[in-house]
Amino acid sequence: MRVFKRIRQEFDSNRGLTILELVVAVFIFAVAITAVQASFLIGDASYNSSETKMTAMRCARSAMDNLVRELRGSRNFSVTQSTGSVTVAYDKDGEGSLTMTWQDSGAHANQVLKNGTKIIGNNITALSYIDHTIETDPQNAVTIDLTATASMPRGEDIEVTLEEKINLRLL
């Protein structure tokens, strides 16, 4: 109690604050505000990075799910790959002959298109197919390697790569 009484007497006096006390108080306040702002900036950068990674994962998973769904029940599967483009031709019961295309340049760059119009994947920066068909093995299989990219606000790119092996129906 005695301490509070003394502090009260100091503030009740007409003496005021010295310039040195004022400078020290402003300095302490500035350091505290800088620390708070730095923690907000770090938190914001972490949030943006996580959000960008999630966007890339969402694009990759969505595209992979669509590709697997399309190819799992296909027949007469054939792939044409060249630098910067992939075309898959296949037959599907009830839909007839279909194609899926991907290219890294042009009007539909980094998109996977079904029959040239329906977008089944976005932000796909790399796509490849590995055919595992062996003439003596009746199991037809193909592995899809897919890379999706999302850009962070500062221009940094986040890449996510997925790989899935698909067993195709017999020809």
Is the pLDDT score of 42 beyond 90?
Answer: yes
More confident residue, 16 or 58: 58
More confident residue, 135 or 91: 91
d(CA 125, CA 149): 6
For position 37, what pLDDT does the model report?
Answer: 97
For position 34, what pLDDT does the model report?
Answer: 97
Closest CA to 140 of 75, 96, 83, 94: 75
Q: Which of 21-35, 90-104, 130-144 has the lowest mean pLDDT?
A: 130-144
Which single residue is written with the structure tokens 């595992």? 132
Backbone angles phi, psi at 62, to 5 degrees: -60, -45
Position 4 confidence tier, pLDDT thresholds 50, 70, 90? low
Under 8 Å between Cβ of 123 and 59: yes
Tens of pLDDT, residues 102-120: 998 888 888 888 988 888 8
User: How many beta carbons lie within 10 A of that of residue 9, not counting itself?
Assistant: 9
For position 36, what pLDDT does the model report?
Answer: 96
Is the pLDDT score of 29 beyond 90?
Answer: yes
Tens of pLDDT, residues 148-166: 988 887 788 888 999 998 8
Under 8 Å between Cβ of 55 and 150: yes
Give percent above pLDDT 70 in the chain. 85
More confident residue, 4 or 30: 30
Tens of pLDDT, residues 44-75: 988 988 888 898 899 899 989 988 888 887 87
For position 39, what pLDDT does the model report?
Answer: 95
For position 43, what pLDDT does the model report?
Answer: 93
Q: How far is CA 47 from CA 39, 40, 89, 150, in A?
A: 12, 10, 41, 14
Under 8 Å between Cβ of 131 and 142: yes
Is the pLDDT score of 97 beyond 70?
Answer: yes
Is the pLDDT score of 26 beyond 90?
Answer: yes
